[in-house]
Amino acid sequence: MRIDVVSIFPDYLAPLDLSLVGKARTGGLLDLRVHDLRDWTTDRHRTVDDTPFGGGAGMVMRPDVWGTALDSVLDDGAHLLVPTPSGAPLTQRTAERLAEEQHLVVACGRYEGIDARVAEHYRARPGVRVSEFSIGDYVLNGGEVAALVLVEAVARLLPGVVGNPESLVEESHGAAGLLEYPVYTKPPQWAGLDVPDVLLSGHHGRIARWRRDQALRRTAGRRPDLVAALDVAALDRADLAT
Ligand SMILES: N#Cc1c(-c2ccc3ccn(Cc4ccccn4)c3c2)n[nH]c1N
């Protein structure tokens, strides 16, 4: 998979040189290219923004600079992803679908956002899909943090990136749509607190049922919205697998 990220702060994406994503890059599993939007400016001041039509506070990113940049990195079949507070929620299901694709291009806006004609222009281009997404109901200063989130959420799903693929199934928002159960490790006693006895029992069936019960309780308590969407069939399949 190839992912291009375009930003006026390319150093913001430096953490993608680290850990699993960094290993995926050096191992050839992920071709990640980070670009400075200002490389496509033509004026002495390398200007990327201007005042908004219709007035209002802040500045808007110019469509012409973005158009030159995206024409340079987009190819047929690419999926243009634009982080924005007004975007569709980025979910695990979205990440799973994106991990199946060949080429993602993430356009990181700043200021009050990117001129709306940019997304409109590329939606009209045959062979290019455009998705505006959001990583949560809070306001950030730009799209770079969202790009970090998206790249990590997608890269970890690529074959060979995570050591034990089975770990991708049980985690929060995994196949059954439940939040993850609580996890414990040594020492068995810490700060006057014990590990639940069932986890020391060696009885795999009981452990699996306890974990599913804990996941259900957590999901009902913290994310009642997910309970309504629970895939009971997937839950039963997960149960049968234990
Ligand atoms: N994903 C995501 C985001 C963003 C986000 C993404 C891109 C940009 C480009 C500029 N800004 C600042 C800004 C502030 C106010 C109104 C418009 N724009 C961004 C914010 N905020 N919160 C999320 N979950």
The pLDDT of residue 242 is above 50: no
Q: By alpha-carbon position, which residue is closest to atom 13 of ligand 1? A: 112
Question: What's the CA gap between 188 and 144, in Å, rounded?
Answer: 41
* 37-41, 154-158, 162-166: the lowest-pLDDT one: 162-166
Residue 61 and residue 176: Cα distance in Å, rounded?
Answer: 41
| Whole-Å CA distances, 20 to 30, 36, 63, 155 | 11, 24, 34, 8
Q: What is the CATH class of 2-155?
A: alpha beta
pLDDT at 235: 64
Q: Position 115: which residue type?
A: D
Is residue 165 classed exposed, middle or buried when 0-12, 13-18 and 19+ CB atoms within 10 A define those classes? exposed
| Contact criterion met (CB below 8 Å) for 109 and 143 | yes
Ordered by start, the domain boundaries in the chain are 2-155, 173-241
**Residue 184 carries which side chain, given as an amino acid letter?**
Y
Higher model confidence: residue 41 or residue 163?
A: 41
CA–CA distance, 73 with 70 (Å, rounded to integer) = 5
CATH tag for 173-241 (out of 1.10.1270.20, 3.40.50.720, 1.20.200.10, 3.40.50.300): 1.10.1270.20
**Mean pLDDT over residues 23-50, rounded?**
97
12 CA to middle of ligand 1, Å? 15
pLDDT the model gives residue 230: 80
83 CA: nearest ligand 1 atom: 1
pLDDT computed for residue 76 by the predictor: 94
Report the length, in residues, of the chain.
242
| pLDDT attached to residue 165 | 77
ipTM > 0.95 (yes/no): yes
Shortest-distance Cα residue to atom 19 of ligand 1: 142
Query: 231: pLDDT confidence band, cut at 50, 70 and 90?
Result: low
Q: Would you say 222 and 182 are in contact if contact means Cβ atoms under 8 Å apart?
A: no
Name the E strands within 120-195.
Answer: 129-134, 189-190, 193-194
Instruction: Sort residue 143 into left (φ over 0), alpha (ψ -120 to 50) or beta.
Output: alpha
89 upstream amide cis, omega within 30 of 0: no
Centre of ligand 1 from the C-alpha of residue 85, in Å: 5
Q: What is the pLDDT, as a whole number, of residue 166?
A: 77
**pLDDT for 149:** 98
Residues with CB under 6 A from ligand 1: 83-85, 87, 109-110, 112-113, 134-136, 138-143, 146
CA distance 232 to 60: 46
Element of type H or E holding 233: helix 232-240
Instruction: Determine the pLDDT at residue 112.
Output: 98
The number of beta carbons lying within 10 Å of the beta carbon of residue 77 is: 11
**What is the reported pLDDT for 239?**
55
